[in-house]
Amino acid sequence: MLAQIRRTAAETCAESFVFKSEYLGYLPFGQYQWIEVGDVTLDTDLPDGWSLADLQALTRDGALEQVSEERGKFEPEDHWVTFRIK
């Protein structure tokens, strides 16, 4: 996962990326999560079952630094976390 993020960051000259999780609001879809690195969206390129907890573990291990975190004003399920790649 980290290798894919780093590779995409190098390709797009990005130093950071954003984890996004948003509630799509209708069935059969619910909470959807993805990562945006520069202008590239990573979702299907990541391992099955990945989550924000994986990025938080990489932060604890020193590979990432959390820069900011926001919740949606109208949809509290919407969540955006920006990470800097070390």
Give 74's pLDDT tier (boundaries 50, 70, 90): confident
State the pLDDT at residue 21. Answer: 93
Give 70's pLDDT tier (boundaries 50, 70, 90): very high
Half-sphere exposure of 65 (CA within 13 A, CB side): 6
The amino acid that residue 44 corresponds to is T
Q: What is the DSSP letter of 47?
A: P
Q: What is the DSSP letter of 11?
A: H
pLDDT tens figures, 12-67: 999 999 999 998 877 777 788 999 999 999 987 888 889 999 999 999 999 999 99
Contact 8, 40 (CB under 8 A): yes
Structural domain spans, the chain: 2-85
* pTM, full prediction: 0.88
Could you tell me which residues are beta bridge partners of residue 82? 18, 68
